[in-house]
């Protein structure tokens, strides 16, 4: 399956776990642009995933291995800034896309 087809398919996959895995795999290719990432993230209903496109100054979300991998891949894509483990709250802390993007203008 081609990259372009995978990008178009991702928002239409009903299972959010499969969609998350697909998003991570697409990010690993290094070919997703920010608009594609936003489009895919907006299809999720899980608040932890929607936090990556928040207007807030920073976000803390519950930890899972897949969310940590996603945060690392989103940082590598220049989509978010500074993902780190917040030991005090046992959560992932980062600067989300909309806030990160506005800080670079």
What is the CA angle 46-39-47, rounded to 5?
15
pLDDT given for residue 64 in this prediction: 94
- Per-residue pLDDT reduced to its tens digit, 6-42: 777 777 888 999 999 999 999 999 989 999 899 889 9
Q: Distance between CA 103 and CA 86 in Å, rounded?
A: 22
Residue-wise DSSP of 58-72: -EEEE--HHHHHHHH
pTM of the prediction?
0.85
Mean pLDDT of the chain: 88
């Amino acid at each position: 399956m081609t990259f372009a087809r995978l990008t178009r398919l991702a928002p239409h996959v009903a299972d959010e776990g499969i969609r998350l895995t697909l998003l991570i795999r697409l990010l690993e290719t290094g070919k997703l642009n920010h608009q594609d990432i936003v489009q895919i993230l907006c299809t999720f209903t899980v608040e932890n995933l929607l936090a990556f496109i928040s207007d807030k100054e920073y976000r803390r979300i519950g930890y899972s291995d897949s969310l940590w991998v996603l945060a690392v891949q989103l940082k590598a894509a220049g989509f978010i800034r500074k993902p780190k483990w917040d030991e005090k709250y046992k959560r992932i802390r980062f600067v989300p896309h909309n806030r990160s993007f506005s800080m670079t203008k």
